Structure 1
């Protein structure tokens, strides 16, 4: 397995997220051709079925579309879809657990804001 991948998430999810990240950061834009499954297999040194599963999820979500015999491409509005989905997931995956822990630690909103500012580099 490639050093680019980790054991925290299933590999197909990591590949799916890798492609999604490229769309979100606009490395890939609408109607751009995405790397073929064979190219991704070679890059990550993983099984073809694993890569196909990650790519298929993006197709099913309407983020990628296939042109038979040509390849996969970024669907129109894909970035907007991915951002909406990630924002929704952000609350459940990061914000709620953080607020629960902050409550246990008796941190105020002001305490949390200071921590954010320091770690973002806004204030020291």
Structure 2
């Protein structure tokens, strides 16, 4: 059974899961995505909830609908999502980290050393 975070609307989580599949190359440009009915069966949630998540992706230009055929990943969708996520990463993680480093008196050089040290250990 698929689990959802109760602190976030399910339609947003559906949208994010499809975006993840695009970013991770599970769904590629011009490839057909599962139908709304298939997604209802996969996630065991209401059709309207699935549709709401899908419509957000259509509005963003990440997927498109072909009447009577299905829904498809738009050309350039992965690149668009990566750029959007990098911007979000900067806003939500990097900038707050830099602000905290400044408060703690950590220089950019020290910060870089910290990151390089962790990268060698963790990645």
TM-score range, shorter chain: 0.7 to 0.9
**Partner residue in 2 for 1:105:** 104
Aligned partner of residue 83 in structure 2, secondary structure: helix
Q: Deviation string for 1:39-87 (max 9, x for gaps)?
A: 2222222222111111111111111011112210011111111112112
Decide whether the 8 Å contact of 1:37 with 1:52 is kept in 2: yes
TM-score, structure 2 length as denominator?
Answer: 0.84
Correspondence 1:63 to 2:69: no
Do residues 43 (structure 1) and 27 (structure 2) align?
no
1:2 corresponds in structure 2 to: 2
Aligned residues: 122
TM-score, normalising length: structure 1: 0.83
Secondary structure of the structure 1 residue equivalent to 2:32 = coil
Q: Which runs of 5 or more structure 2 residues have no equivalent in the other structure?
A: none
The structure with the largest helix share of the pair is 2
**Structural RMSD (CA):** 2.1
1:20 aligns with 2:1: no
CA distance in 2, matches of 1:44, 1:70: 22
> How much has 1:118 moved relative to structure 2?
4.0
